[in-house]
Structure 1
Amino acid sequence: MAVIAHLRIPADAFELGRILRLDPGATVELETMVPLGEKAVPFFSVSDEARESFEKNVRDHSAVDRIVEVSRHKNERLYSLDWDVTTDDFFLGIAEIGGQLLSATGTTSTWEFEIRFQTHERLSDFQEYCADASISLEVGRIYNPVRPGTGMWYGLTTAQRETLIRAVEEGYYSIPRQVSTQDMGDALGISDQAVTERLRRGIETLVTNSLIAMEAEESEAFQRVS
């Protein structure tokens, strides 16, 4: 049964972390990795505040062939990085074990990853691989199966997630109810109808990508065995 693991490693423990050296307080987020022939080209979003030092540090690294600014949006810039992935044992291990990289965020000292593995055993294999490669790896939360690509938040948008959390924490689902959709709408700056719609869509997405997806996967597994 597939699992999604939240992993944390020091920035200096893998090649890409050493390439993307960041100033204190800066962060970089991996948007996607696009396979091109034998290469995997990563795309990163970087805030304008970190842009100058980010570009300089990356261009000065010997493993980088080219860095390209792809687009700008508000206070962030998107870059593509032409880099020799064969020098990075961490990413080679992900490919070797058959993991699917869902997200990655880096700071000056630490990177956090969400990676989907086909089974718990594959996750254990990856941990053993990292230990053999002297890559310091901390395994955080491990999530139950969800639909591929939905990530640790089960496909919820940021707005849906924040509204659901607020509803639970402020007592919308308590008996008796402690807060109304109008109260929540006033706090969020939206209408009570918009709050109701967010809750409805959020619950539907959460159930679809967790309970229903798990039930379907278990049913398929049972059919394969029988």
Structure 2
Amino acid sequence: MSVIVEFRASSEDFELGQILSVEGNSTVELETLVPLGEATVPLFWIHNTSRESFVDGVRRHPTVDEATPIDVFEDRTLFTLEWNADQDRLIRAIQGNGGQILNAVGNPSTWKFEVRFPSHGSLSAFSTDCDDEGINLEVTRVYSPSNPDVQPRYGLTEPQFEALTLAIRMGYYDIPRGCTTKELADELGISDQAVTERLRRAIVALVTDTLPIDEGEE
């Protein structure tokens, strides 16, 4: 089952972020929802920046063959980028693990990505490759596209989310414990046994939705 991850990366940590360098409140946004590669010519929007100076700077990069404005508006410009993505460690890690970039937006310091991977295993391999390359990723969200309604709670139902967050706030998982299941039950208005079962199911749901555990793995 495919999985979608949203993460942030420093603009300095990968070549594309360095190529598409902007300043101030300017942003760069990927337009084409396709994998980036040597044979692909992606489209990017640049917002709130000088088109001429930006494109000239992009063209001077040694791995860029051409950057061509396509549509020009008062506050934004759409342009094509012809470049060799093989030199980019982040893009190479995405491609090498079957990832597809769904969305990418960059500012002067940070890029935000949304990438679909074929499985949790491929996502885990991508994360390992980034660690090996020294690329620091800040993962903000991982979810299954087949069940988007549970995205904000990572697979937890509302009662599970309530019980688990209450247990953490009251110190149930601290050492020593800050409360008992009986005290949690009193707060939630359910039985001691129901709290225990709800916490168990919450942990199973959370791990299943966020960690690379593929069905059929031993």
By the TM > 0.5 criterion, same fold?
A: yes
Counterparts of 2:42 and 2:6, CA distance in 1: 19
CA displacement at 1:138 relative to structure 2: 1.3
TM-score by length of 1: 0.60
TM-score by length of 2: 0.62
The answer for the alignment partner of 1:28 in structure 2 is: 28
- Which is worse superposed, 103-112 or 50-59? 50-59
- Tell whether the 8 Å contact from 2:67 to 2:81 is kept in structure 1 after alignment: yes
Matches within 5 A, 1:171-186: none
Gaps of 5+ in 2: 153-213
Counterparts of 2:58 and 2:23, CA distance in 1: 12
CA displacement at 1:40 relative to structure 2: 2.1
Counterparts of 2:127 and 2:38, CA distance in 1: 25
CA displacement at 1:113 relative to structure 2: 0.2
CA displacement at 1:141 relative to structure 2: 0.9
CA displacement at 1:130 relative to structure 2: 0.4
The answer for the alignment partner of 2:144 in structure 1 is: 144
Gaps of 5+ in 1: 154-220
The answer for the alignment partner of 1:115 in structure 2 is: 115
Q: Is the partner of 1:32 in helix, strand or coil?
A: coil
The answer for the alignment partner of 2:82 in structure 1 is: 82
CA displacement at 1:123 relative to structure 2: 1.0
Structure 1 residue 102 corresponds to structure 2 residue 102: yes
Q: Is the partner of 2:49 in helix, strand or coil?
A: helix
Counterparts of 1:58 and 1:69, CA distance in 2: 12
The answer for the alignment partner of 2:39 in structure 1 is: 39
CA displacement at 1:35 relative to structure 2: 7.0
Question: 1:146 and 1:31, CA in 2 relative to 1: closer, same or farther beyond 3 A?
Answer: farther
Q: Is the partner of 1:62 in helix, strand or coil?
A: coil
Matched pairs, number: 153
Counterparts of 2:26 and 2:130, CA distance in 1: 26
- Tell whether the 8 Å contact from 1:65 to 1:82 is kept in structure 2 after alignment: yes
CA displacement at 1:74 relative to structure 2: 5.5
CA displacement at 1:117 relative to structure 2: 1.2
The answer for the alignment partner of 2:172 in structure 1 is: none
Aligned-pair Cα RMSD in Å: 2.9
- Tell whether the 8 Å contact from 1:26 to 1:50 is kept in structure 2 after alignment: no
The C-alpha deviation readout for 1:49-107, integer Å capped at 9, x for no partner, is 34233213212211111111112346321100111111112111111100111000000
Q: Is the partner of 1:41 in helix, strand or coil?
A: coil
Question: 1:116 and 1:35, CA in 2 relative to 1: closer, same or farther beyond 3 A?
Answer: closer
Larger radius of gyration between Structure 1 and Structure 2? 2
Matches within 5 A, 1:38-77: 38-73=38-73, 75-77=75-77
Counterparts of 1:33 and 1:4, CA distance in 2: 14
The answer for the alignment partner of 2:7 in structure 1 is: 7
- Tell whether the 8 Å contact from 1:33 to 1:41 is kept in structure 2 after alignment: no
Q: Is the partner of 1:7 in helix, strand or coil?
A: strand
> Percent sequence identity over matched residues?
42
Counterparts of 1:36 and 1:28, CA distance in 2: 15
Runs of 4+ displaced beyond 4 Å: 33-38
The C-alpha deviation readout for 1:96-129, integer Å capped at 9, x for no partner, is 1001110000000000000011222211111001
Question: 1:139 and 1:83, CA in 2 relative to 1: closer, same or farther beyond 3 A?
Answer: same
